[in-house]
Copies of this chain bind each other. A is one copy, B any other.
Amino acid sequence: MSRPLLQLALDHTRLDAAQRDVALLQDHVDIIEAGTILCLCEGVNAVRALRAQCPEKIIVADWKVADAGETLAQQALGAGANWMTIIGAAPLATIEKGHAVAQAHHGDIQIELFGNWTFEDARDWYRVGVRQAIYHRGRDAQASGQQWGDADLARMKALSDIGLELSVTGGLTPEDLPLFKDINVKAFIAGRALSGAANPQQIARAFHQHIDAIWGEK
């Protein structure tokens, strides 16, 4: 099992605010995510600006694409993203087309697991070449009190067994990480836990310390 990476999700409404947090945190995280809110507010220029700011980082365009997979992958990967997200509710044709464009750019597609997806869907995604998914406890679900539970962990384990590496997100704190010790985690995604903290770099270090303690040092 590979050592999980740490991903900074930027869900700011303004690019300048996002870029201030990137300046603070880019040496403390592995992946920079142009979040859905940021992208809908600032457009593909957000991806382009983050690529310019972080030439060496993995950049994710969290677009949760539902249709027009080819056009949108061309836009996202063309602007410098390495990975683009597609929502699990998208038609398989959308996923296939997005994946083909991502591969041509030496990039990847990540499936965002929202709504009534099934393990049969997950096997279809794997079959068309997808190797990553994002397991999500939504902001609104969190706010309404939904916690990480055994059912989540069992579903993550089943997705791992299908062959999908998982990134995990949704109000994660460093203290939550031991919950995921048996899962094939690609990345832990933290947004406001990092960028909203009084000392964001200290929180990033705490994430890495927990990752080191559970999965071993780099």
Contacts and interface: CB of A to CB of B under 8 A. Distances in A.
User: What is the oligomeric copy number?
Assistant: 2
Given A40-B63, A42-B43, A114-B67, A91 B138 contact: yes
Interface in A1-33: 11, 13
Interface in A94-131: 94, 97, 112, 114-118, 121
Interface in A41-76: 41-46, 63-64, 66-72, 75-76
Given A43-B43, A87-B87, A68 B36 contact: yes
B138 A13 contact: no
Given A89-B116, A93-B144, 9 more contacts: A13-B71, A36-B66, A66-B112, A68-B140, A70-B140, A90-B114, A90-B140, A91-B138, A116-B116
